[in-house]
Amino acid sequence: MGFFINFLMIQYNTDRDEEAMEKLRPELYLEKFDTSRELENFQNETLRPILKLQHNLLVDLLLQQRNVDATIRNNVNRGILESQLKAFISQPHLRDILLGIIIGQFTRNELKVYGAFSKEVNKRIIQMVLQRFMDSI
């Protein structure tokens, strides 16, 4: 009996933690379409708010990487800057950290959606991080 009560308490606390995490996310006012695919809804309702919430952390992480700051200071051409930043972000170690910062904010239900589309979601996260970084410099 004690195990069952402990399980229920853990479940209750986990649900409350997930609600608290979702409340931390900024509310975005995006146009919604009835024809949107599940992946597009996930991007707009989950990824975008999390990316906005974690924006400063992501920018700080990128700026701490060797050569990123120098690349920003030395390149006037945005095309060259973007291609060099893509190269930095595609390094497996940095890419995994960036993904972890975002995926770590998922609720259990969001993690299930992520599991179904992980390859595409990872690609979108990296593209969105790059775009946000380019827009902020």
Q: What is the tens place of the pLDDT at every residue in 2-40?
A: 554 454 444 545 566 777 777 777 776 666 656 568 899
Cα dist. 104→54, 76, 82 in Å? Answer: 11, 35, 26
Q: Is the pLDDT of residue 79 over 90?
A: no
Can you give the pLDDT at residue 34? 60
**Residue 47 has which token pair?**
């990824």
Helix (H) / strand (E) element for 101: namely helix 92-103
Can you give the pLDDT at residue 8? 45
To which residue do tokens 């992480």 refer?
Answer: 61
- C-alpha to C-alpha distance for 62 and 56, rounded to whole angstroms: 10
Radius of gyration over alpha carbons of the chain, in Å?
18
At 39-75, the pLDDT tens digits run 999 999 999 999 999 999 999 999 888 778 777 777 6
Segment 68-96 mean pLDDT: 85
Can you give the pLDDT at residue 65? 84
Q: Residues, the chain, total?
A: 137
User: 31-35, 41-45, 95-99, 124-128: which range is least confident on average?
Assistant: 31-35
Segment 97-115 mean pLDDT: 95
Number of CB atoms found within 10 A of residue 89's CB: 18
Segment 100-126 mean pLDDT: 95
- Report the candidate in 89, 74, 70, 93 with the shortest Cα–Cα distance to residue 133: 89
- Report the candidate in 118, 102, 126 with the shortest Cα–Cα distance to residue 54: 102
Q: At what angle do helices 118-136 and 108-116 cross, to 10 degrees?
A: 110
Segment 99-116 mean pLDDT: 94
Can you give the pLDDT at residue 12? 47
Map out the domains of the chain as residue ranges: 2-136
